[in-house]
Structure 1
Amino acid sequence: MALDMLQLLSTLGTLLLGLGITIALICGYTYLATLIPFQINARTRPDSKAQAQLAHSPPLIPYIVPGLGSTITFSNQNIGTYWTWLQSQAARYGQDAFAILLAGTKTNFIFSEAGISAVFKSRQLSRAKLDQQLGVNVLGMSKEDAVKAFPYDVDEKEKSTTARIHSEHLLSSSAVNALTGTFMETFRARLGSDARLGEGLEVDLYEWLWEQVFNSSTTALCGSTLLEMFPDFGRDYRTWEDNMLGMLFGTPRLFARTAYAARDATVQKLEAWLQAGYDQPLKDSEDPEWEPNFGARVMRKRHAFYQQQDLSLHAQAGFDLIFLAGILSNATPATGWLLLHILSPTSSPSDFRSRIMHELNSCHRQDGSVDIPALTRLPLLNSAFHEVLRLYVDLLVVRQVDSSVALGSHYVRQGEQVMAPTWMTHRNPAFFEKPEVFDPERFLAKDAETGKLGYSVTGLGGKYFPFGGGHYMCPGRTFAKQEVLGTVAVLLLNFDVTFVGFTGRRGGKHGFPGIKKNYAGNQVVGIEGDMRVRIRKRRTRS
């Protein structure tokens, strides 16, 4: 019996050894088979100016696992690590585009200025399949509903589209000003109703701020009924938001139960809210800018689109969830980063905060409100806002290649993917001096004729694109900016905010908060750590 067992173990060991050798041979062959063409392609230099202008396929980075390719290394959640490595390869080989095999699909990373500009203009690139994947994986839609929600054909003149809805009811001056006005009114009311702020309240700034901004933004967009029905809505939403990219990449439910549970709970709450709103329809003659059941007019117009597309209530809730995320998930951390830099005693220049306060005071009205149009013209504040976006946006502009096309000097084939990473351009020393440093004056500019100080991001093209570009440019960008600047202004003009110390993980210089771990492409990066401050309502205006 013992001898039989030894023979069995020996046979099993031989099989495992053989399997290991086979896997090693396959991986070794795969690496060599991808390394050699990479070296040839990456080191090839055009020998004439005419050849230099010809488009060629980006070099495919070698890998060892067939099918999986570079998926594991790309999935590194230490934000910036992969991009830093890729930047070193770009410098080593003199390339401004590379390709990787990502979950079986050849994915082209393009980070040349001309290439990115071409991505935004190309009609051979689209996003419908990717959006449908988001609908199924991240929002819990059925495949049928995902196709209805994100249709290929968006040019039907007789039908409404989300692009036209956003153009008219989110990007127009009247619409965005109305939305900002509701947000500011709600935000001021929330702060004014907290009696503790009268005597002074010590808080972790970003943790406290997140709740104030989230509730105010949600009320401005969705009305007051949603949070009245579900006061804990933000808790589930935040868990889902933190894990959104993992679900997009297809992380199985078994390994992300908390994330999927939060998604399901959030969607269920939105379903109940939608049904309650549909049960109390407005009269045909009514079309207010805001009402308590469905909030801003843009939400009601989106709901009409849902009905047009015959979406299930479950899919409608998921579609509302991603719309909320597009507005909230970037503006809130952007506000946090901006306030952290303004209030930190380690910020440079040393008079940064006092100069910001000087600008803000020029927009402060007698009733404590803020002149938003004037706020959006303040040179230093707006320069600092754009510097936050330059330094802390990790956006991946993702497109599918519907037909083979040259994007600048980069040739991509039908069926491949294109990704334009902001990290590679926003932190490129050829585009921005000392790119790893937060410089609030970076975008300041003097008018050549008047000599007046202002700010400018014009002419940066494919170097700087925090809101994406082209047809799919973020429709909430104007509201997001006004929301960020308005929040900063209300807080700093009406409250004394005193620095106490940094808390949590100290990932940055001098204990300044660091970047929260996540997958690449999570837009405005999360904040790891916090700043302890004391907030007290001002009794008199300074």
Structure 2
Amino acid sequence: MDRSLTLQVVASSLFVLLLTAALVAAYTYLSTLVKYRLDVRNNSSSNSKVRTARAPPLIPYAIPVLGSTITFSNQRIGTFWTWLRNQAQRYSQDAFSIMLSGTRTHFIFSEAGVSAIFKSRQLSRARLDQQLGTNVLGMAQVDAARAFPYDVEEKEKSTTARIHSENLLSSKAVDELTKKFMETLTTQLDDDDQLNEGAVVELYDWLWQHIFRSSTTAFCGSKLLDMFPDFDKDYRTWEDGMLGMLFGTPRMFAKKSYAARDATVGKLEKWLQTGYQNLPQAVDNDENWEPNFGAKVMRKRHDFYAQQDLSPHAQAGSDLIFLAGILSNATPATGWLLLHILSPTSAPNLHTSIMTELRSCHRADNTLDIPALTRLPRLNSAFHEVLRFYTDVLILRQVDSSVVLGGIHSVKQNEQVMAPSWLTHRNPEFFPNPEVFDPERFLLHNEVTGKLSYSASGLGGKYFPFGGGHYMCPGRTFAKQEVLGSIAVLLLNFEIEFVAFTQAFEGESLPVGKDAKVFPRMKRGYAGNQVVGIEGDMRVRIKRKKSAA
């Protein structure tokens, strides 16, 4: 009898709790819905030519604090943005807000608003970078603050911005990095004897391995991959889970990602320790490349680590995120571009016209004229279309002090601002037929001379695959040369014959057909994946051309 009474009390208590939760959720949703409807009416971008600065309308939600976090975390690429774009069209809006884990977060996608985000001194990224340091790189809080400082006061002290400006963005530095990358890639391909008689490969997976090893060697030297030949396996798992860790996914729900993070950082820490022990004192710190630490930019970054008194573990994490900035976008961009060039579903003249352009950059000694390569109109137009179509960049900033962005979007201190490229890159007012991949979108035709050129300039807050403002990707120039150089080496030196599109089933890659319906899809992942990964592949038969041999 006592037990039955206890069960009734527990059941009653549980019912009361559930009823209370339901009432709180219903009240929260109804109150935020009413406020939302009023705000969209007042904030309509079509109400008047002169708009009053207001906070973007807050999307209604039912769960206090958590807000729209679950909806935003949908890993089907583009799903949340498509829904938000529909809301924008329905209510004539160019900005919205959501409650994201207790912080009001503004999505701004007007041209004026995005441009203002890039320029505003009231917005910054330091606290968010420090969160990246602790969550994604496994740093202690004190190390994260030192690795991503709000400000380095003394003018004579080094900063990563200054290091990158001098050793990653300058023409000389980019040329040296590209030269080393191309040398390494060419050597790898020359050493692959199966390509002499021809081999059937899954193109993107095969390509990823080669670009990963070439980029890693160009930046980190040859010692890292000599010590850890399987470094790519842990890196790839960590890269796939990076955004989940940034958003605070608990370890119990992402065990593989955290394990890969710890393993990757651990390997980099051992590599650093070995490099510090073996780096000859006589090595000139201005040398372009050496096997222990690779490119000059890496050694300059290591000087910065010493200046900031970073622990060895934090130094390894800093090198990891720098390497990811180089690899995580250029590799899938190369893959998407090559897939479209070689696909039987593309326009018949795409492959032939690009091959004609590439031959004009092919020197007699079998080297490439890289500056000429970066000016080829059709190739560069297709490259920029890849960045428009497959990029999901989130420009994320914290609001340090209240400000009005673009004269129309009012945001308050301690809130967050995001500029999602998906909504601007796929805005039909900015790009006609935005859901169609058009490799000629950025082509320009001179009616007087008949010559073709390409241009992605003058697009301001409409197109920003590399970010913008103070935080624009410092590796953007090298990344472009890396992508175009890889494409040129493969297409000029190898015969590549399409076999079939493939998909992975239970760990095995199986052919699924040859039509557009089975063209590789964008890989699942959180919003903000930058150049989105590739799900699926293209099976090809690749053979070295006799002239190349």
2:111, 2:460 within 8 Å by CA — same for their partners in 1?
Answer: yes
Q: The residue matched to 1:206 in structure 2 has which SS?
A: helix
Any residues of structure 2 matched to 1:342-361 within 5 Å, and which? Answer: 342-347=341-346, 349-361=347-359
Give the aligned residue type for 2:131: Q
Any residues of structure 2 matched to 1:84-483 within 5 Å, and which? Answer: 84-154=82-152, 156-283=154-281, 286=284, 287-347=286-346, 349-408=347-406, 409-447=408-446, 450-483=449-482
Q: The residue matched to 1:415 in structure 2 has which SS?
A: coil
438 and 96 in structure 1: CA distance in 2 versus 1, 3 angstrom threshold: same
What residue number does 1:514 align with?
A: 521
Give the aligned residue type for 1:193: D
Question: Could you list the per-position Cα deviations for residues 95-142 of structure 1 after superposition, in whole angstroms to 9, with x for gaps in the alignment?
Answer: 000000001000000000000000000000000000000000000100
Q: Return 5+ residue gaps in structure 2 as ranges.
A: 505-511
* 2-structure distance, mates of 1:48, 1:336: 41
Give the CA deviation at 1:158.
1.3
96 and 449 in structure 1: CA distance in 2 versus 1, 3 angstrom threshold: same
Question: Could you list the per-position Cα deviations for residues 148-205 of structure 1 after superposition, in whole angstroms to 9, with x for gaps in the alignment?
Answer: 0000114531111000000000000000000000000000000000000000010100
Q: The residue matched to 1:351 in structure 2 has which SS?
A: helix
Q: Which moved more, 1:13-22 or 1:294-303?
A: 13-22
Q: The residue matched to 2:429 in structure 1 has which SS?
A: coil
Any residues of structure 2 matched to 1:15-94 within 5 Å, and which? Answer: 15-44=13-42, 52-94=50-92
Q: The residue matched to 1:300 in structure 2 has which SS?
A: helix
Give the aligned residue type for 2:469: G
2:222, 2:291 within 8 Å by CA — same for their partners in 1?
Answer: yes
Q: Return 5+ residue gaps in structure 1 as ranges.
A: none
* 2-structure distance, mates of 1:489, 1:47: 46
Give the aligned residue type for 1:443: F
Give the aligned residue type for 2:527: A
2:44, 2:91 within 8 Å by CA — same for their partners in 1?
Answer: no
371 and 46 in structure 1: CA distance in 2 versus 1, 3 angstrom threshold: closer
Give the CA deviation at 1:7.
2.4
Q: The residue matched to 2:25 in structure 1 has which SS?
A: helix
39 and 343 in structure 1: CA distance in 2 versus 1, 3 angstrom threshold: same
430 and 293 in structure 1: CA distance in 2 versus 1, 3 angstrom threshold: same
Give the CA deviation at 1:48.
11
Q: The residue matched to 1:499 in structure 2 has which SS?
A: strand
1:124, 1:405 within 8 Å by CA — same for their partners in 2?
Answer: yes
Q: The residue matched to 1:52 in structure 2 has which SS?
A: coil
Give the aligned residue type for 1:123: R
Give the CA deviation at 1:396.
0.2
401 and 12 in structure 1: CA distance in 2 versus 1, 3 angstrom threshold: same
Q: Which moved more, 1:272-281 or 1:520-529?
A: 272-281
What residue number does 1:530 align with?
A: 537
1:145, 1:315 within 8 Å by CA — same for their partners in 2?
Answer: yes
Give the CA deviation at 1:52.
2.8
Give the CA deviation at 1:512.
0.2
Root mean square deviation of aligned Cα: 1.7
* 2-structure distance, mates of 1:104, 1:52: 32
* 2-structure distance, mates of 1:77, 1:514: 13
Give the CA deviation at 1:413.
0.4
1:46, 1:52 within 8 Å by CA — same for their partners in 2?
Answer: no
Q: Which moved more, 1:99-108 or 1:255-264?
A: 255-264
Question: Could you list the per-position Cα deviations for residues 226-258 of structure 1 after superposition, in whole angstroms to 9, with x for gaps in the alignment?
Answer: 000000001100000000001001111111111
Give the CA deviation at 1:53.
3.3
Q: The residue matched to 2:98 in structure 1 has which SS?
A: strand
* 2-structure distance, mates of 1:300, 1:226: 14
* 2-structure distance, mates of 1:330, 1:47: 34
- Alignment identity in percent? 68
504 and 50 in structure 1: CA distance in 2 versus 1, 3 angstrom threshold: closer
The TM-score, its normalising length taken from structure 1, stands at: 0.97
Give the CA deviation at 1:282.
3.7
343 and 61 in structure 1: CA distance in 2 versus 1, 3 angstrom threshold: same
* 1-structure distance, mates of 2:60, 2:241: 29
Give the CA deviation at 1:54.
2.5
122 and 319 in structure 1: CA distance in 2 versus 1, 3 angstrom threshold: same
Give the CA deviation at 1:450.
4.7
* 2-structure distance, mates of 1:45, 1:276: 59
100 and 176 in structure 1: CA distance in 2 versus 1, 3 angstrom threshold: same
Question: Could you list the per-position Cα deviations for residues 399-425 of structure 1 after superposition, in whole angstroms to 9, with x for gaps in the alignment?
Answer: 000000010110100000000000000
Give the aligned residue type for 1:316: Q
* 2-structure distance, mates of 1:498, 1:517: 28
Give the CA deviation at 1:280.
2.1
Q: Which moved more, 1:494-503 or 1:42-51?
A: 42-51
* 2-structure distance, mates of 1:246, 1:325: 15
* 2-structure distance, mates of 1:541, 1:259: 41
Give the aligned residue type for 1:387: E
Q: The residue matched to 2:278 in structure 1 has which SS?
A: coil
* 2-structure distance, mates of 1:256, 1:497: 38
110 and 364 in structure 1: CA distance in 2 versus 1, 3 angstrom threshold: same
What residue number does 2:498 align with?
A: 499
* 1-structure distance, mates of 2:205, 2:366: 24
* 2-structure distance, mates of 1:215, 1:48: 52
Q: The residue matched to 2:410 in structure 1 has which SS?
A: strand
Give the aligned residue type for 1:390: R
* 1-structure distance, mates of 2:327, 2:348: 31
Give the CA deviation at 1:453.
1.0
* 2-structure distance, mates of 1:285, 1:299: 14
1:346, 1:510 within 8 Å by CA — same for their partners in 2?
Answer: no
Question: Could you list the per-position Cα deviations for residues 45-93 of structure 1 after superposition, in whole angstroms to 9, with x for gaps in the alignment?
Answer: 5799988332110000010000000000000000100000000000011
2:147, 2:308 within 8 Å by CA — same for their partners in 1?
Answer: yes
Give the CA deviation at 1:43.
1.2
Q: The residue matched to 1:342 in structure 2 has which SS?
A: helix
Give the CA deviation at 1:509.
3.3
